[in-house]
Amino acid sequence: MSPHSRRSFLALSGATLLGLAGCGGVQRLNTSGPPRKGGTLRFAVATQADSWDPHVAATDITAVLLRPVFDSLVSYGADGTFRPWLATGWTVSPDGLAYTFRLRGDVTFSDGEPFNAAAVRDNLAHILDPATKSGFPLALLGPLAKVDVTGEHTVVLRMSEPYSSLLYALSTTYLGFISPRSLREHGKELASGRFLAGTGPFTLESVVPNQEAVFRRRPGYRWPAPGSPNPGESYVDGYRVSFLPEDQTRVGAVGSGQVDVADEMPSARLSTLRKQAGMRIEQNPVPGSPYSYYLNVSRPPFNDPAVRRAVQASIDLDAIVKGVFRGEYQRAWSVLTPKTPGYAADLAGTWGYSPETAARLLDGAGYSQRDGDGYRVRGGVRLRAEFPFAADYSTADRRTFDVALQDSLRKAGIEVVLTAVDSAEFASRVIAGEYDVKSVAWASADPAVLRELFHSKRFLAEGGSNQGRVRDPQLDAWLDAARATLDPHEQSRLYGQVQHRVIEQAYAIPAYTAPRSLALAERVRGVRYEVSGTPALAELWLADS
Amino acid sequence: MSRLASGVFVLWGAATLCFLVLSLRGDTVSAILGAGPPPTPELRARIVAEYGLDDPLWTRYLHWLRSLLSGDLGWSYQRDEPVTHLLASQVGPTLQLAVTAAVLGAGIAVLVTAFLTGRGRAADTVLTGLSVLSVSVPTFWVGALLLGVFSFALPLFPAIGDTGPAGLVLPSLTLAFPIAGALTQVMAQEVRTAESMPFALTVRARGATDRRLRLNHTLRHSLLPALTLTGWILGMLIGGAVLIENVFARPGLGRVLVAAAAGRDLPVVTAVVLLSATAFVAINLVVDLVLPVVDPRLRAEADR
């Protein structure tokens, strides 16, 4: 790819060429002395990976832990621009249907296989193969129709329709590259993590389910993403990840120096942990969709916009967020978090708690009577909403918040029935649309997450995540246009309109944005964060302790 | 022979119950695909075909029973690996934990009973109080307390994972606590009863000390109710392991079972249940064989 064509692409994507040194995440390099080589970093996380095959996994933790094992074609910066990584450059055809990537020629997999155009093709074929049973990574590929190898190090990805999220998709761990030999010889056993060879600076050495995963530095690595402060092999010999589901154990483990970094510190413990000597708390905003309540608009009572707006006006979010999270988290104003590209900042302050409005709306909708329990009724039927949730995928914070929401709505005369179910039961209810309220938070650095959440072709039964079963031609039109255009300004405008309409129609009630809170031991240095809010594990080093 | 038959019946019953409970409710396709966005209709159809989920229930049952009989425990829906492989890495840690806790619990109970019962009414009250407390305090809470004190505040033992003998101390102590409490209670009661019996008077009359009477005669009586409690202890060990494994982040069957049950991972649930049922049958068999050794009266009955 010529310098000119790359410039034109970047101009097309509205990127400002700040130079490749301006790196992705928040730069927070510790400058006390030069980086030291050696040591094993101990990292405690709350959840286990559902699969170690990045092409199958849907859990966010898989992407976090495997990032150092798998490199991507392109790298994504917090400023919304894309930079070369395993691809030295790329061109997009004027119709937006063909992406031509030129690949680095010096990259190898940890098992010695060369990284080339054929490896890219084989990996994409592995995701597309129905036998792989890929869910989320497959969805990331969007309308990918064909992969052409046009040279040892040139590959063309052809789309059946313009797809503005392709570069973002290619920047995620989910579309990282596994050695063609692993795919060929162990394609069915990749989920166990025992046969993963990637191109990254670390290799996955061993996995003990429910206990730990051990990663080791790969000698000879020299192709990190642009912006990495370390051009060569990683500093630490390896890292050991412990799966510690109990909040108390994770907090205690980092507090007593048994781990160096602990993920997902509970909000209630942050103020105490900050005072503790020998460690620090760092918080990072998470891009994507904040924890939100989606109202099922396909059946009563929430098929009535007035009732949905009444719900919106009945919840004193400011007070609840402050009370539940002790001032640690922010209330949300939109179905995107402020960190997400395209966030509609002008929504702040435009809606909120107003019991009078709620009462007026409910009276107008015919729910003017109250029954013996104080709930509003219309034609003898109580205003009632089913809110099932999967106990496995909930957290204590979220449950507390859900109960507070239930309480607010009770005061307004709306009954919310919170029911804990197991994940399989939950899945079947969700697919059948048997719920009135469903809550979810979704981390993603691509505002196209709005398409998954609100497009009429993305119903849950069809593999999408349209939680509220919204069918709104206006939203569809904006979301389709945003997917087709490569102009980020136009995209932001369209996604802004989507966010405004979601609030105006009360399709969803955004609740709060939780940053990712990490506790780090003093000796952990070189901390830089990925766009996702997690530390770039491959760059950390350990000071003498 | 009839004992073997009843054992086989128990295993079959347990397996069948698993199958029915996990097949009749919920959505197996979602269970197979696990977390994340729901599957597309095409992927759903593929899973249904691959696992034969559209076959009638009894066909699936027979097919599944046949593969179980041939020793094939199947392929985990969730973890996408053979169940045998999944369990192989998890049986060891649970067994270690359970055996250590059982030995520790029984040991504490025998010592406490031998040396602390019969020291007057006040001592008895304290003993009873402590054993009631140990049974009623939640295992989870005890574990958290031990962790907080002996790992976080005083860094004597590791908090994380299956790290050799040092890592086994706190979790097995946590699990041994309620077992020791319950055993002490029934054993102490039995010792008191035995010591009020005529034979105790005879032994004393022959000049034996209290300690000699306890160690050589009455303590033996207290082993009978302890042995008959093995079923309860086994249940305690399996149930407690789930909590302990979570608090101490240990690998093990408890966590595997909870995750598998929540995700309707039928092959894994069945395997763990069959394993527990086998342990249950085996231990009861051993107890039946050991009881006559401890209690000569049962031997006489068998001989008659």
Asked if the model's pLDDT at residue B301 lies above 60, the reply is no
Output helix, strand, coil percentages for chain B, rounded to the nearest 5: 80, 0, 20
Cα gap A256→A272, rounded to integer Å: 14
Locus of tokens 């950390």: A540
Among chain A residues, CA nearest to B243:
A246
State both tokens at A113. Answer: 């296989």
Asked if the model's pLDDT at residue A6 lies above 70, the reply is no
Considering only CB atoms, A211 lies closest to which of B79, B86, B249, namely B249
* Nearest-neighbour CA in chain A from B120: distance (Å): 42
Question: How would you label A463-499 residue by residue, b for 16+ Cβ within 10 Å and e otherwise?
Answer: bbbbbbbbebeebbebbeebbebbebeebbebbbbbb
Task: Provide DSSP, A366-406.
Answer: T--EE-TTS-EEETTEE-EEEEEEEGGG--HHHHHHHHHHH
CA-based nearest residue to B145, from B167, B177, B179: B177
Coil, strand or helix: which one is B176?
Answer: helix
Considering only CB atoms, B43 lies closest to which of A133, A243, A248, namely A133
Contact (CB, 8 A) for A358 and A310: yes
Q: What's the pLDDT band for B124 if we cut at 50, 70, 90?
A: confident
Considering only CB atoms, B247 lies closest to which of A212, A246, A452, namely A246
Cα gap A238→A213, rounded to integer Å: 11
A467 touches chain B (CB under 8 A): no
DSSP conformational letter for A507:
S
Q: Which of residues 77-96 of B touch A (CB under 8 A)?
A: 78-81, 85-86, 89-90
User: Inter-chain contact B249–A460, Cβ cutoff 8 Å?
Assistant: no
State both tokens at A93. Answer: 């055809």
Coil, strand or helix: which one is A37?
Answer: coil
Strand order in A87-92's β-sheet?
A: A87-92, A98-103, A154-159, A144-151
Which of A51-60, A431-440, B72-81 has the least mean pLDDT?
Answer: B72-81
State both tokens at A374. Answer: 């104080």
CA-based nearest residue to A92, from A151, A42, A166: A166
Among chain A residues, CA nearest to B31:
A424
Provide the percentage of residues in chain B whose pLDDT is more than 90.
4
* Nearest-neighbour CA in chain B from A123: distance (Å): 19
**Chain B contact set for A392 (CB, 8 A):** 262-263
Asked if the model's pLDDT at residue B211 lies above 50, the reply is yes
Contact (CB, 8 A) for B226 and B106: yes
Asked if the model's pLDDT at residue A446 lies above 80, the reply is yes
Would you state the pLDDT for residue A13?
A: 32
State both tokens at A377. Answer: 């009724």
Task: Provide DSSP, A69-91.
Answer: T---SEEE-TTS-EEESSEEEEE
Q: Which residues contact A448 (CB under 8 A, 6 or more apart)?
A: A164, A165, A168, A482, A483
Considering only CB atoms, B26 lies closest to which of A249, A253, A424, namely A424
Considering only CB atoms, B41 lies closest to which of A130, A452, A462, namely A462
* Nearest-neighbour CA in chain B from A76: distance (Å): 23
Q: B18: alpha, beta or left, given left = phi > 0 and alpha = psi -120 to 50? A: alpha
Locus of tokens 């063909």: A98
Task: Provide DSSP, A432-469.
Answer: HT--SEEEEEEE-S-TTHHHHHH-TT-BGGGTS-BTT-
Would you state the pLDDT for residue B300?
A: 62
Would you state the pLDDT for residue B143?
A: 87
A428 touches chain B (CB under 8 A): yes
Asked if the model's pLDDT at residue B208 lies above 80, the reply is no
- Which CATH number among 2.120.10.30, 3.10.105.10, 1.10.3720.10, 3.40.50.150 corresponds to the domain B88-266? 1.10.3720.10
Considering only CB atoms, A423 lies closest to which of B25, B89, B263, namely B263
Peptide bond into A301 cis (omega under 30): yes
Task: Provide DSSP, A485-498.
Answer: ---HHHHHHHHHHH
A434 touches chain B (CB under 8 A): no
B264 touches chain A (CB under 8 A): yes
CA-based nearest residue to A159, from A124, A118, A122, A116: A124
CA-based nearest residue to A329, from A534, A511, A509, A514: A514
Q: What's the pLDDT band for A418 if we cut at 50, 70, 90?
A: very high
Over chain B, what is the mean pLDDT?
81
Would you state the pLDDT for residue A370?
A: 94
Q: What's the pLDDT band for A26 if we cut at 50, 70, 90?
A: very low
Contact (CB, 8 A) for A261 and A62: no
User: Mind listing the pLDDT tens digit for each residue in A513-525?
Assistant: 999 999 999 999 9
Q: What's the pLDDT band for B144 if we cut at 50, 70, 90?
A: confident
Distance of CA A336 to the CA centre of its chain: 11
Count CB neighbours of A455 within 10 A: 23
Average pLDDT over residues A207-221: 92
Coil, strand or helix: which one is A524?
Answer: strand
Asked if the model's pLDDT at residue A8 lies above 80, the reply is no
Would you state the pLDDT for residue A545?
A: 61
User: Inter-chain contact B37–A192, Cβ cutoff 8 Å?
Assistant: no
Would you state the pLDDT for residue A32?
A: 59
Q: Which of residues 177-206 of A touch B (CB under 8 A)?
A: 188-189, 191-192
DSSP conformational letter for A310:
H
Give which of A186, A210, A241 to mutate to test B binding, by max B Cβ within 10 Å.
Answer: A210
Would you state the pLDDT for residue A14?
A: 31
B161 touches chain A (CB under 8 A): yes
Would you state the pLDDT for residue A30?
A: 46
**Chain A contact set for B43 (CB, 8 A):** 130, 133, 135, 463
Cα gap A412→A311, rounded to integer Å: 8
Would you state the pLDDT for residue B236?
A: 80
Contact (CB, 8 A) for B171 and B244: yes
Would you state the pLDDT for residue B1?
A: 57
Considering only CB atoms, A460 lies closest to which of B25, B38, B263, namely B38
Average pLDDT over residues B64-75: 85
State both tokens at A442. Answer: 């979704």
Locus of tokens 């949730």: A389
Locus of tokens 């000796």: A523
B274 touches chain A (CB under 8 A): no
Question: How would you label B101-131 residue by residue, b for 16+ Cβ within 10 Å and e otherwise?
Answer: bbebbbebbbebbbeebbeeeeebeebeebb
pTM of the model: 0.85
Cα gap A325→A320, rounded to integer Å: 8
Q: What's the pLDDT band for A21 if we cut at 50, 70, 90?
A: very low
CA-based nearest residue to A148, from A99, A106, A93: A99
B149 touches chain A (CB under 8 A): no
Cα gap A10→A206, rounded to integer Å: 41
User: Mind listing the pLDDT tens digit for each residue in A352-367?
Assistant: 999 999 999 999 999 9
Contact (CB, 8 A) for A108 and A114: yes
Considering only CB atoms, A210 lies closest to which of B31, B78, B245, namely B245
Would you state the pLDDT for residue B302?
A: 52
Q: What's the pLDDT band for A453 if we cut at 50, 70, 90?
A: very high
Average pLDDT over residues A294-320: 97
CA-based nearest residue to B203, from B195, B192, B296: B195
Considering only CB atoms, A425 lies closest to which of B26, B144, B155, namely B26
Contact (CB, 8 A) for B31 and B78: yes
**Chain B contact set for A44 (CB, 8 A):** 160
- Segment (H or E) for A360: helix A355-364
Give which of B21, B22, B27 to mutate to test A binding, by max A Cβ within 10 Å.
Answer: B27
Burial class (CB in 10 A: 0-12, 13-18, 19+), B279: middle
Coil, strand or helix: which one is A330?
Answer: strand
Would you state the pLDDT for residue B26?
A: 62
Q: Is the interface score ipTM higher than 0.85?
A: no
Contact (CB, 8 A) for A141 and A124: yes
Would you state the pLDDT for residue A28?
A: 45
Among chain A residues, CA nearest to B36:
A58
Would you state the pLDDT for residue A17?
A: 28
* Nearest-neighbour CA in chain A from B65: distance (Å): 23
User: Inter-chain contact A463–B28, Cβ cutoff 8 Å?
Assistant: no
User: Mind listing the pLDDT tens digit for each residue in B37-61?
Assistant: 667 788 788 888 888 888 888 898 9
Which of A229-238, A410-419, B205-214 has the least mean pLDDT?
Answer: B205-214
User: Inter-chain contact A391–B262, Cβ cutoff 8 Å?
Assistant: yes
Identity of the amino acid at B60 = R
User: Inter-chain contact A208–B144, Cβ cutoff 8 Å?
Assistant: no
Bridge partners (DSSP) of residue B165 are: none
Average pLDDT over residues B242-247: 83
Q: Which of residues 30-49 of A touch B (CB under 8 A)?
A: 44
Tell how strand A238-243 and strand A40-45 pair up: parallel
Cα gap A124→B2, rounded to integer Å: 59
Give which of B23, B78, B145, B160 to mutate to test A binding, by max A Cβ within 10 Å.
Answer: B160
Q: Which of residues 255-274 of A touch B (CB under 8 A)?
A: 255-259
Q: Which residues contact A261 (CB under 8 A, 6 or more apart)?
A: A41, A42, A43, A44, A254, A518, A519, A520, A521, A524, A535, A540
Considering only CB atoms, B37 lies closest to which of A139, A392, A425, namely A139
User: Inter-chain contact A211–B251, Cβ cutoff 8 Å?
Assistant: yes
Asked if the model's pLDDT at residue A344 lies above 90, the reply is yes
User: Mind listing the pLDDT tens digit for each residue in A372-416?
Assistant: 999 999 999 999 999 999 887 778 889 999 999 999 999 999 999
* Nearest-neighbour CA in chain B from A491: distance (Å): 24
Q: A463: alpha, beta or left, given left = phi > 0 and alpha = psi -120 to 50? A: left
Cβ-Cβ contacts under 8 Å between A and B: the total is: 161
State both tokens at B260. Answer: 């598998």
User: Mind listing the pLDDT tens digit for each residue in A156-169?
Assistant: 999 999 999 999 99
Contact (CB, 8 A) for A196 and A204: yes
Q: Which residues contact A158 (CB under 8 A, 6 or more apart)?
A: A97, A98, A144, A145, A146, A147, A148
Q: Which position has the higher pLDDT, B211 or A344? A: A344
A59 touches chain B (CB under 8 A): yes
